Structure 1
Amino acid sequence: MPSNNYDIKGLTNEQVLLSREKFGENTLKYKQKNTVLDAIKNLVKEPMIILLLVAALIYFVSGKIGDGIFLSSAIIIVSVIALFQDSRSRNALQKLKNLTQPHCKVIRDGETLDLKSEEIVVGDNLIVEEGTSIPADGKIILSNDFSVNESILTGESLSVFKDKDKDEPYVFKGTTVVSGSAIISITQIGNETKLGKIGKSLESINEEKTPLEIQINNFVKKLVITGAIVFLIVWAINYFNSHNVLDSLLKALTLAMSILPEEIPMAFTTFMAIGAWRLMKMGIIVKQMKTVETLGSATIICTDKTGTITENKMSLAKVFSLSSQKIVNTLDANEDEKEVIKTAMWASEPIPFDPMEEALHNAYSQLHSIDERPNFKLVHEYLLGGKPPMMTHVFENNSGKKIIAAKGAPEALIGISNLSTEEKKQIVEAIQTITQEGYRVLAVAESNFVGSDYPEIQQEFQFKFKGVVAFYDPPKKNIKKVLEDFYQAGIAVKIITGDNAATTIAIAKQIAFQGHEHSLTGDELMKLSDTELQEKVMHTNVFTRMFPEAKLRIITALKEQNQIVAMTGDGVNDGPALKAAHIGIAMGKKGTEIAKQAASLILLEDDLSKMVDAVAMGRKIYTNLKKAIQYIISIHIPIILTVFIPLALGWVYPNIFSPVHIIFLELIMGPTCSIIFENEPMEKNTMQQQPRPLTKTFFNWKEITTSIIQGLIITIGTLFTYQYSIYQGLDETHTRTMVFTVLIAANIFLTLINRSFYYSIFTTLRYKNNMVTLIIAITVSITGLLLFIPPLTNFFEFETLTIKQLSTCIGIGFVSVIWYEIVKLRTRMISKNK
C-alpha cells in the first residue's frame, strides 16, 4: 500500500528502539507450559520408569550391584530418548506457533511495513482494515466507516462503530475489525493492554484430545491394567514356589515391563508433531495437531474461486455502457465507457486494497488526463451488503458538489434503478455475453442527492444505471492437475463463490471441473429444507452468489452426510464456515486475520496444490503410525508370552529373562517404531485409495488380528527354540541366548516386513529411508557385542553361540515373520483381479 496516501511519517528506527527499551515487547506474559521441567515431571510418572526404579532398587538391596547399575543406566538412556523425542515435538510445535503469529501493517519512517504483531511498540501508527485482528490498544487518528467487534472483552456480539471524534476513540487488543479501515496510534502493548490485564490469554486454552488420541490412551490403559493383574498373579506364583519376596517381585516386574507398551503414546506424539513440522516446511501451517490426524480422511474440498482457482490478478478487460449499448475493450473505451469506469472508481475505496478496486483506480488514471480524486473527500459510505451485495460511496468537494456512486452485483443495481423493460433486457444480454467468456462483472450506478440527511439504507437512493465493468481473473496454471489429483484420491471438489453462475461455470469449463453443468445460488439454497439440501448438496458441485449463512448451511449439510469437509476461505464472512468445517483452510497471503484465526490450517502461498500435499502427508502419517503401533503389538506378544508361558507351565527354566533383558529389548523397539516408521516414505498407492472414514476405529479388528497372529507365530518360534535347546541338552544360559537371539532376529525381519502390508519386501527395500539401515546396523552391532564380548556375555548371562546355533536362531526368526509375504501376495492378487 503506498504510504503517500497518508500525511503520517510514523516512528523512526531510533524511536522504535527507545520505545521498545522503555515499554518492552508486545507479548502477553503467561505461565510457560510444556517446559523441560514439565517433561521431566511427566517422565517420572511413567509406569516403565517406576518399574525400572523398583527393579534397580531390588537389585541393589539383593547385592546384585552390576544389575542395579545397568538398570540405573537404562533409566537414564530411556529418559534421554523420551526427553529427546519430547524436545523434537515441542520445538516443532513452537516453530509452528511462531509462524502462525498475526502480522500487521505499521507506518515507520514514511513507509508501510508488514511486521509480526509482537514487534510493534508504543507510539507506532498501525493500519487496520476489515478482517484484521487488532494487536494492541490504541487511539484512532484516522478512520473510514470503521466498526469493531469487541465480544472478546464485552461479550457483546454486535459491532461497535468507532471514530476519532467520538467519546471512545479507542480500540483494544484482541478485538476484530468488522468494516472499514483506520490508523491507530498505539498506546498500550502486551500485559498493559485491556486484554492483558484481565488475563484472557489464548495460551491458557487447553486443546481437546482427538478421537485417535483417546483411542490410543484407552488402549494403553487397558494394557496397563492387564499388566497390573498379571503382575500380581506372577508375583504370587513365584512367591509360592520360592518364598522369596524380593526375588519373586523381581520376576513379576520382568513380566510387567514386557506388557507395558510405553512406546505407543510416544510414537503418537512424535508422529503428529513432526508431521506438523514437515507440513510447515512444505508451506502448510497446521495450527492444531488434530488437523494432521484429520487430513487423510478428507472426502470433500470446498473451495472459493477467486484467488484459489484463479490467480486473483484482476485486470479491467471490458466495459458495457447502457447509453452507448456497446461492449468494448477497456483500451478502446469512448467517453460513455470512460464515464462508467469513472463512476466505478468513485464507488471504490479511496485507498484500494481489493484487486478489483485497484484495477479500477489504475484504469481511471490511464483513461482520464485530469485526476479529480485529490479534490473530493469521502463524506459518507454504505458498506458492502444486501443479497446480492452492493456498496455506495458519497464524495464531496470544497464547493459542495457531490458524487454518489454505487457498484455491486448486477441483480442488486438493476433492481433499484429506474429502468425500462427494454433497458433491462439489453443489460441482461450484455452480462450474459460477457460472463459466458469467464469474466467477472460489476454493475455501476450513480445518484443525485441534496443535503446531508442521507437515507438509512443505500437502496433508498434514486439510482441511474450506468453500465457494467468486466474483470478477467485467469485460472491458475496448475489448477487442472490439482483437480485431477483430488479426483484420483477419491476427494470431491465443490466451488463455493460469491460470483455469478455464468462466470463461475465458464471458468469451471476451462479447468475441466467435474459437475460444472449444475449450479445452485445462495437464495435457491436457503429455500430448501434441511433434508432437501442434504440430498442436493451431494450432487451439486457449483454454488454461486453465496453469502455466510448459505456457506455455513452447505458445510453443515455435508457433515450431516458423514462427509469429512475441508473448506478454503479468506474473508471475514468465511469465518463461521471455516470454523464449522473439519479442516478450515485460510490463505496465507490474501487471507484476513479473522479467516486465519478461524481456520485450522494456513496455506502460505495461497496454492491449492499444497492441499494435495497436505492430504498425502496426512495419509502417510496415519499409515506410518499404524505400522509403528502394529509393530509394537506384534513384538510385545512374544516377549510377554516367552516370559509367562515357561513360568505358568512349570518348564525347566521358568524365568528365562530378567529385567535387564526386557529393558534391552525395549531400548531396541523404541527407536525402531519411532525413528524408522516416522521416516518411512509414502507408499505409491496411498493417493489412489479412497479417503479413510473418520468414524473408522484406529484399532480395527482385522488389523489387530494381523498383529496378534504375527506376534503369536513369533512366539511359536521363540518357544520352539526354547524346547529345541533343551532337546539338544543345552543349559539355561545357552537356551536364554538362543531365545533372545531369535527375538532380535524376528524384530529385525518384522521391521522390514511391516514397512508395507501390501507391497513385498523386495519393493520396500527400495524405499528411501536411511534410518532403516542405521537402526538395524546398531541393533546387530550391539547384539554382536553381547554375544561375543565375554564381560557383556557374562553380565547378561549369555553364552557365545556357534555359527550353526546362530544360523539356526536367525533362520527361526526369519521363518517366524516371512510367512506374511504370502498374505501380502494374496492381497495383491485379489486387488488386481477386482
Structure 2
Amino acid sequence: MPPHDTRPSTAPVTTPVADTTADAHQGLGSAEAARRLAIDGPNALPGSAPRSAAALLWDVLTEPMLLMLLAAGGIYLALGDRGEALFLLSFVFVVIGITLAQEHKTQRALESLRDLSAPRALVMRDGQEQRIAGQDVVRGDLLILHEGDRIAADAQLIQGQLEVDESLLTGEAVPVTKLPAAQADQATAAAAAASTAPPQSKPAPSGGSAAHTVASVGALFASTVVTRGVGLARVCATASHTAVGRLGADLATTAEPASALQQGSRTLVRRLGAIAVVLASAQVVLGWWWNGGALLDSLLSGIALAMAILPEEIPVILTVFLALGAWRISQQKVLTRRVTAVETLGAITVLAVDKTGTLTMNRMAVAELATANARFTPEDAHLPETFHLLTEFAMLATPGDPFDPMEKAIQHFGHQWLAGTEHVHDGYESEFEYALSGDILAMTRVFASDEPDTHLLATKGAPEAVADLCHLGAAQRETIRRQVESMAERGLRVLGVARGRWRGPALAPDQSPPWPQSQHDFDFEFLGLLALADPPRPEVPAALAQCRRAGVRVVMMTGDHPATARAIAQQVGLSARPEVLTGAELEALDDAALTARLRHVDLCARLTPAHKLRLVQLLRASGEVVAMTGDGVNDAPALKAADVGIAMGERGTDVAREAAALVLLDDSFARIVAAIRQGRRIDDNLRKAIRFTFAVHLPIIALALIPTLLQWPALLLPVHIVLLQLLIDPTCAVVLEAEPEAPGLMERAPRAVGDSPFALAALGYAVVQGLGIAVLLLWGHAWFNAQGASAAQSRGVVFITLVLSVMLLILAQRNVARPALWSVRSPTPWLWRITAAMLLMLAAVTGLPWLRGLMGLALPGTVGMVTVAALLALCLAWLELVRLLGQHLGLVRR
C-alpha cells in the first residue's frame, strides 16, 4: 500500500463549547480562579475535622490517671493536709499541659500527612497545564483527564472519549463510556439504527459500542475513576454540590482501622487496668483491715498502687510513634497514606518492584529501529524511507496525547524525524481501540480511511504477540526472535509494529460498524521493531546492596522481554541468578510448583497485572512479608494484596495511589529503601519505649504494694508517683522516639511477623529488669531503716535511688548490644534535657525544705547518700547481667 493511502480520515475533532469567563483552551485565569474559590470555598466534602481544644481537654480530664489524681487531692483535703492537696492538684494542670502538647504534636504531624496525601488535579490555568490540590478546583476549571485519574469535581466532558468507573455512585462495575454531547447524540442514533439491523455473526467486544454505554452524554462525577482514555472536561459543581456530596459526607472519609499493634495494646491495657482495680482494692482492704490504718490513708495507698500499675503511656506511645514516624518517612519523600503501614515496614522480607521508573530513570527514548534487512539509530544523519512506515504506524498505534512515558517517547521520536511529511497525523482520532490484554500483549487502534467502508489498523506490542497477529512463518519468527534477543540483551525495551486493513459491511453514514471481537480477526503486515532505552537510576546499585545486607530479597516483576529484564538486573546488580520466570511459564504451573520455583527466581518478565497479583498472594502465603510497587489502574489489586503497597507518585495513577499504603513522591527505588530504614528505626525505638515503660513500672508497683503486705510505712504516695510520671511520659513519647538509628540496623534480618513488642519474651525481659531494681530498692530500704534511720530519711533514699534508676533504665534501653553507660558516649539533645529535668527535680525536692516536708522526705545524710550510690551500682550491675542473659537467650534483638 502506498504511504499516502495509509492516512486516516480527516473528520474534524469536536470543538469544545466556549466559556463566558475563559477561553475554551486556555482555562481560567489565576485571578478568576482565586475569586471563585473565595466565593464557593474549597472543593472538599465535610470530613473528619481536627479535634477541638475542648474535645482534647475533655478526653484528658476523663483519663483514669487524672481522675485518680483528683481523687487523691480530694482525700488530702479531707485529711486536712491542704498543702499536700494543693501541691498534688497543681499537677493536674501540668499533666493537662503535657498531654495537650503531645496531642498537638501528633495532630500537627497527621495534618501535614493529610495535606501531602490530598487528591490532586491536572487543570488548565492561564493557558498552562498545572497540577493543583483537588480542594483548589473551582467551577469553570478545565480538567485534563487521563487513564487512572480520580475525577476531582462534577464536570462535563467537552473533548475526547473516556470510560469511567462509576461504581461508587451506582454500584455497577461495568465502566461507562463518556462522549461530548454532540458525539453522544450521534452515537445514540447510530446504535439505535444498528439495533434494527440483522444480527451480526460476531458480538461486539467488551467495551465496544453497545447502546447502553456509548450513548452516555459526558456528565462526569466527582470521586469516579477514569479507566480508559484521555479527555478535557469543564467543572460544573464542587464540594457538597457534587453528586457524591449530595449523597452524604460519610462517602468522603473512612476511618482507618486499628492496626494489629494497636489492637494488641488495647487488649493489654484493658487487662492491666482490671488488674490495677483488683490489686488497688485489695491494697485498700489490707491497709485498713490488715494494718489497722485509717480508711483515708488506705485509700491513698490504693490510689498510689493503681497509678503505679496503669500503663497509660502505651496508647500514647503507639499514637505518637506511628504518627511522627509517618511524618519522618515523609521527609524521605515517601508519603504514608495509611499510618498503620509504618509498623509493617520493619518486617518486609520481599520487595517486588517494576523495572520501568523504579529501577530505571523512566526517561525513555527511541534507541533503535529494525526491519528484516535494515537498522537505524538516532545517531544517523537522517531517517531512511525504509523506516517511515514503521515510525508512522508506531505513532498511529499510540494516543496523540499519551500518558505512558514509552508512548510519549514514540510520539516525540516521530515528530522529530517525520516533521513536515505526510506520515504525521496529528489531530486524528481512532474510531475504535483494542486494549492490551492478558491474552494478547498488543494494542490496536482502528482509523477510517479515504476508501468507503475500509478501515486502517495500527498495532504495537510485544514482538512475539505482533508476529502472531501477522501469522508469520517459522523462519520470519526466528529472525525476529534473534533481533529482539540482540536488542533486549543491551537492556532495550522492544516493541513490534504492524499495520492492517479491514473492510466492514456497508452501512449508513451515521452507523457504527460491528467491530470484530478479537484482534486475531484482522490481517496484519509486520513492519518491524522499535526499541527504547531507559537508563538505570544511578542510586539503585547501592540501594540494592543495602537490601541484601538487610535480608530483604528484591524481585523484579516486569512486562518487558526476559532478556531486557536480565540485562537491567545485571546492570544494577539486582541478582546473580540469570533465570527468568515468564508469564507463559507461570500460567503452566500450579500454586505449589510456582511457590517452589519462586524460591530460586528473582526475575519475572512478560507479566500481566493478574500475574503480579498471583505472585504476591503466593509469596504472602509462603510466609513472606511483601512490599509491591505499581503505577497503573490494573496494579491496584496487587497493591492492595501486598502487605505494603507502594505507588509511584510521579507517573502513578490516582487509583494506584489510593490502593497503596505508601506513595513515592519522586519514584526512586532508593526512597523505598529509605522508608524501610525509617520503619526499622521506628520499630526499634517503639520497642525501647515499651520495654522502658514496663521496666520502670515494676519498682513503682513494688514500692507501692509490698510495704502494705509487710506492714511497713508507705514508701510511695500519689505525689511521688505523679512526679515520676512527669519524667516517664516525656521519656516514652519524646526521648526514645527521637533516638537515632541504632548501629547495624540495616544489617539485621527483618523482624519476624509474630515478633510483637507485647510478646511474653519481650515483656519478660523488661519485667526482669524492673523486678531486680524493685528487690534492690526494698532491700536497701530495709537495710537503711535497720541502721536507725527515720521513715522520712529511708523514703528519701528510696525516692532518690528510684529517680536515678529511671535514668539507668533509659540508658539500658538505648542499645541492648552494649552496657548501659556506653550510651552516654552518644547522647542526644532530648537525653540531655530529660537528665537536666531529673536532676532539677531532685535538687528541688531535696533542697527546698517546704517541698521536702510536703513530700514526707528528709535529707538522707552521708550514710544515706552512700546507700544511694551502692544501690545504683547494684542496679547497674543487675541491668548488665540481664542484658547479657537476654542476649544469650535471644530475648532481645541486637
TM-score, normalised by the number of residues in structure 2: 0.89
Alignment root-mean-square deviation, CA: 2.2
Report whether the alignment pairs 1:590 with 2:651. Answer: yes
**Counterpart selection for 1:758 from 814, 817, 820:** 817
Q: Secondary structure at the match of 1:126?
A: strand
* Pair 235,382 (structure 1): closer, same or farther in 2 beyond 3 Å: same
CA distance in 2, matches of 1:267, 1:703: 16
Quick one: structure 1 residues 172 and 376, their matched pair in 2 at CA, closer, same or farther if it must change by over 3 Å?
closer
Q: Does 1:577 align with 2:660?
A: no
Out of 367, 375, 378, which is 2:429 matched to?
Answer: 378
Structure 2 partner of 1:537: 598
Is 1:218 paired with 2:275? Answer: no
Q: Which residue of 2 aligns with 1:447?
A: 500
CA drift of 1:824 comes to 4.2
SS for the counterpart of 1:808 is helix
Aligned to 1:500: 561
Please list every run of 5 or more consecutive structure 1 residues that lacks an aligned counterpart in the other structure. Answer: none
Secondary structure at the aligned position of 1:448 is classed as strand
Tell me whether 84-93 or 386-395 shows the greater mean CA deviation. 386-395
Match for 2:225 among 176, 179, 193? 176
User: How far has the Cα of 1:39 moved from its partner?
Assistant: 2.4
Q: Is 1:328 aligned to 2:376, yes or no?
A: yes
- Distance verdict in 2 for CA 1:615–1:647, change over 3 Å: same
Rounded Cα–Cα distance in structure 2 between residues aligned with 1:389 and 1:569:
18
Which residue of structure 2 aligns with residue 116 of structure 1? 133
- CA positional deviation for 1:418: 4.0
Letter in 1 for 2:165: N
2:25 is paired with a residue of what secondary structure? coil
Amino acid at match of 1:184: A
Matched, 1:107 2:124: yes
Secondary structure at 1:379 match in 2: coil
User: Quick check: 1:758–1:827 contact (8 Å CA) kept in 2?
Assistant: no
Whole-Å separation in 1 of the counterparts to 2:379 and 2:38: 54
Question: Which residue pairs with 1:717 in the alignment?
Answer: 776
Residue of 165, 169, 186 corresponding to 1:153: 169
Q: CA deviation at 1:814?
A: 3.2
How far apart are 1:368 and its partner, in Å?
2.1
Q: Which position in structure 2 is the counterpart of 1:702? A: 761
Q: Answer whether contact 2:148 2:633 (CA < 8 A) is retained.
A: yes
CA distance in 1, matches of 2:29, 2:732: 54
Alpha-carbon separation, structure 1, partners of 2:244 and 2:619: 37
Residue 162 of structure 1 pairs with residue 212 of structure 2: no
Match of 1:635 in 2: 696
Distance 1:68 1:204 in 2: 46
Deviation at 1:18, TM superposition (A): 3.2
Q: Are 1:681 and 1:768, in contact at CA under 8 Å, matched by a contact in 2?
A: no
Q: What is the CA deviation profile of residues 589-639 of structure 1, one whole-angstrom value per residue up to 9, with x for unaligned ones?
A: 111111100000011111111121111111111111111111111111111
- Could you tell me how far apart the structure 1 residues matched to 2:294 and 2:52 are? 43
Over 3 Å counting, the alpha-carbon distance change for 1:200 and 1:517 in structure 2 is: farther
Residue 515 of structure 1 contacts residue 542 of structure 1 at CA under 8 Å; is this kept in 2?
no
- Counterpart Cα distance in 2 of 1:243 and 1:367: 99
Q: 1:108 to 1:238 in 2, by over 3 A?
A: same
> What is residue 297 of structure 1 aligned with on the other side?
347
Residue 516 of structure 1, CA deviation: 3.9
Q: Which amino acid is 1:279 matched to? A: I
Instruction: Give the drift of 1:683.
Output: 1.0
Relative distance call for 1:541 and 1:765 in structure 2 (3 A) is same
Pairs aligned (count): 824
Aligned residues of 2:145 and 2:226 also touching (Cα < 8 A): yes
User: SS at the partner of 1:25?
Assistant: coil
- Write out aligned runs for 1:384-403 (5 A): 384-386=435-437, 387-396=439-448, 403=456
Percent of matched pairs sharing the same residue: 32
How far did residue 245 of structure 1 move? 2.9
Instruction: Please say if residues 175 and 227 of structure 2, whose CA atoms lie closer than 8 Å, have aligned partners that are also in contact.
Output: yes
C-alpha distance in 2 between matches for 1:390 and 1:645:
78
Q: Secondary structure at the match of 1:11?
A: coil
Q: Secondary structure at the match of 1:330?
A: coil
Q: Secondary structure of 1:697's partner? A: coil
> Do structure 1's residue 267 and structure 2's residue 326 form an aligned pair?
no
Letter of the structure 2 residue corresponding to residue 154 of structure 1: T
What is the deviation of 1:383?
Answer: 4.1
What does residue 490 of structure 1 align with? 551
Consecutive unaligned residues of structure 2, counting only runs of 5 or more, are 1-14, 17-22, 185-215, 505-511
**Inter-partner Cα distance in structure 2 for 1:9 and 1:383:** 32
1:233 partner letter? A
The equivalent residue for 2:206 is: none
Post-superposition Cα deviations, 1:777-798, rounded to whole Å, max 9, x if no partner, equal 1111111111011121111121
Alignment partner, residue 242 of structure 2:
193
Conservation of the 8 A alpha-carbon contact between 2:353 and 2:629: yes
Query: Offset of 1:326 from its aligned partner?
Result: 2.2
> Which letter does structure 2 place at the counterpart of 1:239?
W
Q: 1:588 to 1:376 in 2, by over 3 A?
A: closer
- The 1:211–1:828 alpha-carbon spacing in structure 2 relative to 1, beyond 3 Å, is closer
User: C-alpha displacement at 1:754, in angstroms?
Assistant: 1.9
Give 3-state SS (helix, strand or coil) of 1:310's partner.
coil
Is residue 79 from structure 1 mapped to residue 96 from structure 2 by the alignment? yes
Provide the secondary structure at the position in 2 that maps to 1:765: helix
2:475 counterpart letter in structure 1? E
Shift of 1:336: 1.0
TM-aligned CA distance change 1:170 to 1:294, over 3 Å: same
CA apart distance, 1:399: 8.7
The 3-state SS of whatever aligns with 1:678 is coil
Distance in 1 (CA, whole Å) between partners of 2:765 and 2:633 is: 49
- The aligned amino acid for 1:393 is R
Cα distance, 1:696 vs structure 2: 2.2
Conserved in 1, the CA contact under 8 Å of 2:555 and 2:604?
yes
Q: 1:626 to 1:149 in 2, by over 3 A?
A: same
Amino acid of the residue matched to residue 686 of structure 2? L
Q: What CA distance in whole angstroms lies between the structure 2 residues aligned with 1:591 and 1:36?
A: 38
Question: Which letter does structure 2 place at the counterpart of 1:101?
Answer: A
Q: Structure 1 length as normaliser, TM-score?
A: 0.95
**Structure 1 residues 310-321: aligned runs within 5 Å:** 310-321=360-371
1:450 CA drift (Å) = 4.1
State whether residues 746 and 814 of structure 1, in contact with CA within 8 Å, keep that contact through their aligned partners in structure 2. Answer: no
- Given that residues 765 and 886 in structure 2 are in contact (C-alpha distance below 8 angstroms), is that contact kept between their aligned partners in structure 1? no
Cα offset for 1:560? 0.5
Q: Structure 2: which amino acid aligns with 1:353?
A: F
SS in 2 for 1:567: strand
Decide whether the 8 Å contact of 1:327 with 1:430 is kept in 2.
no
Alignment deviations for residues 313-361 of structure 1 (CA, whole Å, 9 cap, x no partner): 1111111113xx2233234342112321222112111123322222222
- Residue 41 of structure 1: aligned partner: 58
SS at match of 2:502: coil
Deviates more, 1:163-172 or 1:471-480: 163-172
What amino acid is aligned across from residue 80 of structure 2 in structure 1?
G
3-state DSSP class of the match of 2:498? strand
- Cα deviation for residue 376 of structure 1 reads 5.6
For residue 81 of structure 1, give the secondary structure of its aligned residue in structure 2: helix
Read off the aligned partner of 1:327 and give its amino acid letter: R
1:243 CA displacement: 6.2
Code of the residue aligned with 2:436 in structure 1: it is G
Q: Which moved more, 1:17-26 or 1:501-510?
A: 17-26
Residues 508-552 of structure 1, C-alpha deviations (whole Å, 9 max, x = no match): 112222254222122321232222222222322111111121111
SS in 2 for 1:783: helix
* Counterpart position of 1:362: 412
The 5-angstrom pairing of residues 669-748 of structure 1 reads 669-748=728-807
Residue 432 (str. 1) matches residue 450 (str. 2): no
CA displacement, residues 359-409 of structure 1 (integer Å, 9 cap, x when unaligned)? 222222222242444566113131432334212223457897965311111
1:209 Cα deviation from its structure 2 partner: 1.5
Matched, 1:617 2:678: yes
Equivalent in the alignment of 2:474: 421
Alignment of 1:221-240 (within 5 A): 221-240=270-289
1:14 aligns with 2:28: no
Retained in 2: the 8 A contact 1:104–1:126? Answer: yes
Cα distance, 1:109 vs. partner?
2.1
